[in-house]
Amino acid sequence: MDYGHSERPSGAVALPTAIKILVAGGFGVGKTTLVGAVSETRPLRTEEVLTESGVGIDDLSGVEAKRTTTVAMDFGRITISEDLVLYLFGTPGQDRFWFVWDELALGAIGAVVLADTRRLADCFPSIDYFEGRGTPFLVAVNCFEGARHYRLDEVQAALNLDPEVPVLLCDARQRESAKEVLITLVEHAMKLREARRSAD
């Protein structure tokens, strides 16, 4: 939809469209670092204020019926062309804010799930979520110093992933590495789209 299309106010111009990619994974796995490594500016932070009913907590006291919770999201922007702007969103904590995840995942072209091999189970909820939604995703193993190196097929097996889900190593601090992760994701999303189309 394009507001004011039929009656363009003077000064209105053609605006680009925006698309987004999500960056998910466990606490402290490098989501914000990856967003910052490829974005035009330092990651920005935005907040959604939810009433507690929005996060599924019932207030039985009845006194403060409108208590709220703040969910913070980090994001960055990459201007692809005059017509296209890409936003990267780091997803908030994996356990409580599915409401916000649903909003973020709507229309996302895909998701990067960051994993740390020292705490591999931390990324299970993200993987479950994107599998359940049918959002194209890949797993990028962020290589922290001191972490034992596993082969990618070991990670793939440990995560019980579909063989078609890409698994790759990355260093979330390095722009080139972060770029490669995103390019692999978009290529994967494009392949899935074609496969789904020819299956229909």
Partner 1 sequence: MTVQGEPADHQWVDDHAGPVVRPYAVTGGRARPVTGTFDLISLVKATRTDVSPEIGLGPEHLAIVGLCQRMQSVAEIAAHLDLPVGTVRVLLGDLVARSLVQIREPHGTVGVPDNSIFEAVINGLRAL
Ligand X SMILES: Nc1nc2c(ncn2[C@@H]2O[C@H](COP(=O)(O)OP(=O)(O)OP(=O)(O)O)[C@@H](O)[C@H]2O)c(=O)[nH]1
Binding site for partner 1 (CB under 8 A): 1-4, 7-13, 15-20, 32, 36, 38, 42-49, 67-70, 73-75, 77-78, 80-81, 83-87, 89, 103-104, 106-109, 175, 179, 182-183, 186-187, 189-190, 193-194
Taking the complex as a whole, the smallest distance from the CB of residue 14 to partner 1 amounts, in Å, to 8
Q: Which is nearer to Mg ion, 20 or 31 (CB)?
A: 31
Residue 32 makes contact with Mg ion by CB under 5 A: yes
3-state DSSP call for residue 115?
A: strand
- Residues in a beta bridge with 49: 70
Going by C-beta distance under 8 Å and a sequence separation of 6 or more, which residues neighbour residue 87? 18, 19, 20, 21, 75, 76, 77, 78
Q: Which is nearer to partner 1, 79 or 147 (CB)?
A: 79
Taking the complex as a whole, the smallest distance from the CB of residue 108 to partner 1 amounts, in Å, to 8
Going by C-beta distance under 8 Å and a sequence separation of 6 or more, which residues neighbour residue 86? 18, 19, 20, 21, 77, 78, 79, 80
User: What residue 82 binds from Mg ion, partner 1, ligand X, none (CB within 5 to 8 A, per partner kind)?
Assistant: none
3-state DSSP call for residue 18?
A: strand
Q: Which is nearer to partner 1, 117 or 174 (CB)?
A: 174
Cα(33)–Cα(14) distance, integer angstroms: 33
Q: Which residues bind ligand X (CB under 6 A)?
A: 27-33, 90, 142-145, 171-173
